[in-house]
Amino acid sequence: MCIKLMKTSFSSLNNGFILRSHFHQSLKDHLEEVTSIATHIYDSQNNDSEKRDIVKKICMAHDFGKATSFFQEYLDFQEAKEKGDFGRKNKIFGPNKNHALLSALFAYWWLPEEYNLFGYLIIKRHHGSVKDARDEFDLTDDYSVIEEQIQDIQKFNQKELENIYGLNLNDFFEFVNESNLKLIKKRFRKVWQLNNFSVEDTLDFNYFYSLLLTADKMQLVSELPTMPNQKPCLFVEKYKDHIRSDLLVENPAIADSQIFKIRDEIFREMKEELDRIDLSSESFFSINVPTGSGKTFLAYYSALYFADKLKNLYGEQSRVIYSLPYMSIIDQNYDELIKIIKFNQKTDEEPKDTEILKHHSLSEIKYESDETEYKNYDARFCYDNWQSRIITTTFVQLFNTIFKVGDNSIAHRFNRIVNSIIILDEIQAVDEKYYSIIRTFFELLAKKYNVKFIFVTATMPLLIGTHELVPRKKIYFESLDRIRICNHIKEDISVSDFKDILIKDIECRNDKSFLIVLNTIKLSKEIFEFLQKNTSRSCLYLSTEIYPKARLEKIHLIKDCRKKDPSKKFVVVSTQLIEAGVDIDLDVVYRDFSPLSSINQTAGRANRNGVGENSSEVHVYRLKDDEKGRYFHNYIYPAFITDITREILEDKEIVQEKDIFSLNEVYAKKINQKICQDKSIEILEHVKNLDFKKLRDSFELIKNEYAFKRDIVIEADSECSLIIKEISELKRDKLLTKDKWEYNFKVKNLFRRLNQYKISIYESTYSLISDDLLKISGFDTEYLPLKSGTRELYSPSIGIVSEAKSIEIL
């Protein structure tokens, strides 16, 4: 999208319009340019002229209230203050300088009845987040301010406003009286009591809100980026063939492995299936293939194929949004796509952010197009607004964009989803309690907003009916013999006995690498320390108590050793964070009991390429916490899911890989039958009542444990120390900084860099280390040094050094 904006300085205006919206811009120009941007986006996505008129009126109305002399005086003061004319002297302005409520009432009056409640809410909160609608219509307390503002406009600026809108505003001013304000509230209550708002209404609301926010923010960007053409799917195929050739050179024996053979078969089959699809009538697709069969390549190829087909159908370029559950695998996925682009474009130059954008809480806020390197506000907006052809992001960011309706900081990018192709990789990581409501929202996004969905997993849950892009998937699953699950769950096992089993196996098989996955941090630390003391093998530890930068370094070390020094055999102890999408490959796996989907994911870290004469073992034990008399799996997994898993596995001592597919089908059906619908019903109630804040609070993809957790930073190295120092110095220099956007941009990026050292810990652990925590000057952020004198506080190998007795998970 390329939109030309009129960037006229206010001093150059000579057309008789003197009201301003910003220092540099007339109110008339601002309203018209915001409207132009929003309708341009709308026209590229829709052909409904009635709704186009609604978008136009909402945008034209949003700053109506800036026409008061109170706001104009406030603007004059702020401009003079920025120039230093008033020094640091401040002036108190009353509520009569506010503009959103009066603008909202104007929209209510101007819009057709079907949309005036929405228009009112959207404009009232276009500088904040929309609350529950029932809390937004109590206007009687504000009437005296509104009355004063109207009298002011009538006295000073009515004529100019009438010229801007081409309306006689006397009718509006007569409409705004105390009696009518009470009627507005009464009308909303009547509509609300009917309880008849729908998911479609909610999506429409968020779309209109998104268009206004995007256009209002975009209008301030100095130069809008030009979007390049979408990448062709052929890029993926060419790079895949290149990687295949390299693998054969590195390890010729891999050509004989079954997984290597079926990768090509799967890719060919998917290409044939893609040619049969009618995108005008189908929206949901799935790629359900074995671990290690190239799901990333399959997903990108199919999405880019769809993008090309949709362009031919509708004439517009489609955005691809690739979402994954965890930040650690986003970097892996993003790097893979960078390699695909660089290989095909035959360049070492990094693709621009207009081509591919990585968006999550650890990624640096930066933005660059072919023409411009954006700074401060401009970079922040383009980054957060997903101004790119391909976006890689987390499930949290994607689902927040859909479900955090009315949240100003997120909802502005909702319109980027329209006509897009969304890939959900490792979809099984989504909590089952949200399946029903996600299905409802997705079906309407497909039907009303032309969104195409591709679900990718090796353990497909029954989230929604899909067109399978690899129809012969069962044949491929059943042809493999890379692993076998050794089921030991019939009898409970103590931690002490489990240690004996591990040490005996590890010491007997020096030629094998091991992965041991436990359900809690406490137990994983105990097992790791035991193995460190009792074996000469190289041991590595992974959990969320290891700060993100160190976790990634350890994952890369495991992967690199597999290629560069195959004789080095690690023993890796981890919590379940290792499961989804972490591309490591070890020989033998031990897993504390968990849901079948988690067992499958852990098994996917073993013998991924199917080399060797024998299949790898995945040993599953049911460990019991003797101190508390509970199974460790009970601390983190719902009982109904583990009960279903036990029921499926109870009579099977060995599960061959070829049998896993049919077990997964049984598991998915049983889960679907027993899923509790309470959360989805609760969210639907909020939708019916337009309780947007309650809706936002109800949808938390990551379990809301933060009431019991604290975020701290680990001062692990000199880079972290330097970031902390820079943040403190920036805070001290804030008073000398004239450009607030530049200051906020620098602080935001420094904290994002600091996030790679951030961990979340429970209150119980926090209380043990609180005396050793330091605070970043001027901020609430606390950090833990590695040492206090000679006393070790944090070990990069194992995490926080403490005698904590509490159970920590992940």
Q: What is the DSSP string of 551-574?
A: HHHHHHHHHHHHHH-TT---EEEE
Query: What mean pLDDT is predicted for residues 68-81?
Result: 91
* pLDDT value at 224 more than 80: yes
Question: CATH number of the domain that 167 lies in?
Answer: 1.10.3210
Same domain, 171 and 256: no
Say what the pLDDT of residue 170 is.
Answer: 97
Say what the pLDDT of residue 734 is.
Answer: 65
The torsion angles phi and psi of 30, rounded to 5 degrees, stand at -60, -50
Query: What mean pLDDT is predicted for residues 667-676?
Result: 87
Q: pLDDT-derived band of residue 82, with 50, 70 and 90 as boundaries? A: confident
Question: Tokens 């190829």 label which residue?
Answer: 301
CA–CA gap between residue 206 and residue 694 (Å, rounded): 15
* pLDDT value at 542 more than 80: yes
Q: pLDDT-derived band of residue 684, with 50, 70 and 90 as boundaries? A: very high
Same domain, 464 and 336: yes
Evaluate whether residue 688 is within a structural domain: no
* pLDDT value at 6 more than 50: no
Evaluate whether residue 687 is within a structural domain: no
Say what the pLDDT of residue 528 is.
Answer: 97
* pLDDT value at 806 more than 60: no
Say what the pLDDT of residue 11 is.
Answer: 42
Evaluate whether residue 2 is within a structural domain: no
395 and 424 in contact (C-beta within 8 Å)? yes
Dump pLDDT digits (tens) for 585-598: 899 999 999 999 89
Say what the pLDDT of residue 33 is.
Answer: 96
* pLDDT value at 534 more than 50: yes
Say what the pLDDT of residue 706 is.
Answer: 41
* pLDDT value at 475 more than 60: yes
Q: How many domains does the chain have?
A: 4
**Amino acid sitting at position 259:** I
**Final residue belonging to a domain, choices 409, 440, 474:** 474
Say what the pLDDT of residue 703 is.
Answer: 60
* pLDDT value at 474 more than 90: yes
Helix intervals (H) in 354-494? 376-384, 395-403, 408-411, 435-449, 473-478
Same domain, 86 and 194: yes
Say what the pLDDT of residue 86 is.
Answer: 55
Strand order in the sheet with 782-785: 758-762, 709-715, 782-785, 774-775
Portion of the chain with pLDDT greater than 70, in percent: 94
**Final residue belonging to a domain, choices 613, 629, 652:** 652
Q: pLDDT-derived band of residue 275, with 50, 70 and 90 as boundaries? A: very high
Tell me which of 79-88, 199-208, 781-790 is least confident: 79-88
Same domain, 515 and 432: no
Q: Which residues touch 602 (CB under 8 Å, ≥6 apart)?
A: 515, 517, 576, 578, 579, 589, 591, 594, 618
Dump pLDDT digits (tens) for 438-468: 999 999 999 999 999 999 987 766 678 899 9
Evaluate whether residue 775 is within a structural domain: yes
Evaluate whether residue 658 is within a structural domain: no
317 and 229 in contact (C-beta within 8 Å)? yes
Question: CATH number of the domain that 533 lies in?
Answer: 3.40.50.300
> Which of 489 and 195 is assigned the larger pLDDT?
489
Q: Give the largest CA-CA distance in the chain.
A: 92
Tell me which of 94-103, 741-750, 777-786 is least confident: 741-750
Say what the pLDDT of residue 461 is.
Answer: 64
Question: Tokens 């009635």 label which residue?
Answer: 50
CA 427 to each of CA 16, 353, 435, 460: distance values in angstroms, whole numbers, following the listed order = 58, 26, 11, 7
CA–CA gap between residue 146 and residue 159 (Å, rounded): 19
DSSP 98: -
Same domain, 578 and 635: yes
**Final residue belonging to a domain, choices 458, 474, 490:** 474
* pLDDT value at 626 more than 90: no
Say what the pLDDT of residue 1 is.
Answer: 47
* pLDDT value at 10 more than 50: no
Dump pLDDT digits (tens) for 305-332: 999 999 999 888 999 999 998 877 888 8
Evaluate whether residue 444 is within a structural domain: yes
List the domain range (segments joined by +) for residue 788: 706-800
Tell me which of 407-421, 596-610, 633-647 is least confident: 596-610
Query: What mean pLDDT is predicted for residues 525-534?
Result: 96
Evaluate whether residue 657 is within a structural domain: no
Mean of all residue pLDDT scores within the chain: 90
Helix (H) or strand (E) holding 287: strand 284-288
User: Three-state SS for 368?
Assistant: strand
388 and 674 in contact (C-beta within 8 Å)? no
Same domain, 339 and 444: yes
Tell me which of 105-114, 605-614, 679-688 is least confident: 605-614
* pLDDT value at 187 more than 90: no
> Which of 429 and 714 is assigned the larger pLDDT?
714
Tell me which of 191-195, 653-657, 764-768 is least confident: 191-195
Q: pLDDT-derived band of residue 88, with 50, 70 and 90 as boundaries? A: low
Direct distance between the N- and C-terminal alpha carbons of the chain, in angstroms, rounded to an integer: 42
* pLDDT value at 13 more than 70: no
Q: pLDDT-derived band of residue 581, with 50, 70 and 90 as boundaries? A: low
* pLDDT value at 42 more than 90: yes
Say what the pLDDT of residue 190 is.
Answer: 82
Same domain, 268 and 370: yes
Query: What mean pLDDT is predicted for residues 78-105?
Result: 83
Dump pLDDT digits (tens) for 705-739: 444 678 999 999 999 999 999 998 887 776 556 67
Evaluate whether residue 701 is within a structural domain: no
Query: What mean pLDDT is predicted for residues 266-276?
Result: 97
Say what the pLDDT of residue 699 is.
Answer: 92
- Of 26-30, 260-264, 670-674, the range with the highest mean pLDDT is 26-30
Token pair recorded at residue 703:
């379990």
Same domain, 469 and 487: no
Say what the pLDDT of residue 609 is.
Answer: 78
Same domain, 521 and 413: no
CA–CA gap between residue 715 and residue 276 (Å, rounded): 55
Query: What mean pLDDT is predicted for residues 167-178?
Result: 95
Same domain, 398 and 506: no
Same domain, 743 and 628: no
* pLDDT value at 87 more than 60: no
* pLDDT value at 30 more than 90: yes
CA–CA gap between residue 24 and residue 7 (Å, rounded): 9
Portion of the chain with pLDDT greater than 90, in percent: 68
On the 0-12 / 13-18 / 19+ scale of CB atoms within 10 A, 786 is: middle
Listed residue (625, 584, 626, 623) closest to 601, CA to CA: 584
* pLDDT value at 173 more than 90: yes
Q: pLDDT-derived band of residue 427, with 50, 70 and 90 as boundaries? A: confident
Same domain, 466 and 486: no
Say what the pLDDT of residue 393 is.
Answer: 95
Say what the pLDDT of residue 255 is.
Answer: 83
